[in-house]
Amino acid sequence: MSSDTRVTSAVTSGMTANVATTRAGRLRWRIARLVERRDETEAARTLVFDVPGWPGHLAGQHVDVRLTAEDGYSTQRSYSVASAPAGDRVELTVARVPDGEVSPYLADTMEPGDEVELRGPVGGWFVWHPQDTAPVLLVAGGSGMVPLMAMIRVRHDTGSRVPFRLLYSVRTPDDRFYQPELRLPKAGLDISYLYTRTAPDGATRPPRRIDAADLHAHGWPAEFAPSCYVCGPTGFVETTADLLVELGHDPGRIRTERFGPTGG
Amino acid sequence: MTPDTHTEPAADPAGNYQDGNALAGPLGELFAVDVTAATGHCTECGNQGPVAALRVYVRAPGMVARCPSCDHVVLRIVRGPRSVWLDLRGTVSLRIPLPAPVEP
C-alpha cells in the first residue's frame, strides 16, 4: 500500500522524547487480582486489578495477560492500559470477542477476587509524555479509545495544559466508552464523536466513516504541528493516517496502533 | 492502492495482522530496552521505520513481522519451552534511542 509506505518511511525523524524505556531486569509475570468491574457498553467492561509491585506505566503502554487452564494449556493477549498510574492499580477495558479464548473470560466470567497473570508495562512507541508541549490529536476507532483514554487521564492527573482534541469514531452513541468521565467538561480537551451507523437525534453529520472533512473540522491544522495518535482497527488506522498525511501532517508526528484479529 | 505488485502486500488483503506494538511483550522478555521504539532497516527495500510499525502475523508458529513497505519478513520470534528463537534475517540494523546523558 503506497500510502502506508509514506507514513512509515518518513517516521524515523520521530517526535520529541522518543527515548527507549528501560526496565530494571527482565520482564516477568505478576499476579493480578481483580478488585472491581465496570460496564462501559454492552460489549465491553473495565477491569480494575491490584498488581502488587506494579512499577507504574506511561500513557499508551500495554500489558500481556496470560490465562492457564488446569491441564497446563496457556494463552495470552495484549491489552492497553486504560488508567493513569495510581500505585498498584491497573485498569484494562476488555471488549468481548465472540468465540474468543481470553476476552469472554475476562469480560464475563472473572469475578472480584479472581487472579490472572499479567506482565508489563510494555511498548515505548505509542506513548504520550506529559513533558511534550505540542498540541495533541487523538483519533480513536471503537475500542481503540483505551490507550487514548490513558493519555487523557495522565494529562488530567499531571495538571498538564497541553491542548488535546479527541475524535472518537463509534457505530452508535451506546458504543462510547468512559461516558460518565468524558461528559465532564475539561479545559483544553475538545471531544468530537463521529458516528458511523446511528447518530443521535438532531445530529447534523450523517452517519459515515471518518473522512478528511472530519479531521479538518475537528482536528488541528497541520501547521500547528500536533502530535497525532491514531488507534483502532487496521483499516481505520490506515485510512486516518493517510488522510492526516494528505492534510499536510508530518508523517513523523503520526503514531499508530492497530487492533488486528487475535482470536480475542 | 497501487498497481505495482512489488509494493502490494501479498499476505492478506483483509488486513489480517497486528502491528509491531504487539512485539513489545515477547521482546521485553529478552531485552532491557523497549525494542519496538527502535528504528529498523529492511534488507530488502531499505525502508527505515519503527519496529512498532511492522506488520505482525500471529497465526503462524510464533510471530512473523513484515516490512510495511515491501512485505519482506524482517523479524521472526518463536518461543519454545526452554529457549526463544529470534530470527532477524530481514533486518540490516536496529537503531535504539537512548536517554540523554545525566549531568553529574
Distance of CA A165 to the CA centre of its chain: 14
**End-to-end Cα spacing for chain B:** 53
- Cα B90 → chain centroid: 9
Pairing of strands A136-141, A164-170: parallel
> DSSP per residue over A71-121, as a string?
TS-EEEEEEEB-SPPBTTEEEEEEE--TT-SSHHIIIII--TT-EEEEEEE
Q: Answer for the pair B83, B45: CB distance below 8 angstroms, yes or no.
A: no
Contacts with B1 from chain A: Cβ below 8 Å: 1-2
In a domain, B49, yes or no: yes
Whether residue B100 lies inside any domain: the answer is no
Interface with chain A: mutation pick from B19, B21, B48, highest number of A CBs within 10 Å: B21
Number of domains in chain B: 1
A19 to B24: CB separation less than 8 angstroms, yes or no: no
Strand A254-259 and strand B48-50: the pairing is unpaired
CB contact under 8 A, A125 and B68: no
Judge whether residue B24 has pLDDT over 50. Answer: yes
Split at pLDDT 50, 70, 90, the class of B100 is confident
pLDDT of residue A259: 79
How much is the mean pLDDT over chain A? 90
Q: How many CB pairs under 8 A join A and B?
A: 135
Tell me which chain B residues have a C-beta less than 8 angstroms from the C-beta of A19: 37, 97-100
Closest alpha carbon within chain A to B6: A1
pLDDT tens-digit series, residues A69-80: 889 888 888 999
Lowest mean pLDDT among A128-132, A258-262, B64-68: A258-262
CB contact under 8 A, B36 and A123: yes
Residue type, A147: P
Cell numbers of A154, please?
Answer: 495522565
CATH of A2-18+125-259, picked from 1.10.287.130, 3.40.50.80, 3.60.150.10, 3.30.230.10, is 3.40.50.80
Strands B39-42 and A227-233: unpaired
Q: Which domain holds residue B58?
A: 18-95
B12 near A CB under 8 A:
no
pLDDT at B2: 34
Overall pTM surpassing 0.90 (yes/no): no
Q: What is the DSSP string of A52-71?
A: TT-----BT-EEEEEEE-TT
Q: Domain limits of chain A?
A: 2-18+125-259, 30-122
CATH class of A30-122: mainly beta
Q: Closest partner residue to B34 among A5, A122, A235, by Cβ? A: A122
pLDDT at B7 over 50: no
Look at B30 and A26 and tell me if their CB atoms are within 8 Å. Answer: yes
3-state secondary structure of A232: strand
How many Cβ atoms are within 10 Å of A22's Cβ, its own excluded?
A: 12
- CB pair distance less than 8 Å for A124 and B36: yes
pLDDT surpasses 90 at A158: yes
- E-strand stretches of chain A: 30-39, 44-50, 62-68, 74-80, 89-95, 115-122, 136-141, 164-170, 189-195, 227-233, 254-259
In-domain check, residue B8? no
In a domain, residue B101? The reply is no
Residue B9 lies in a domain: no
- Is B46 contained in some domain? yes
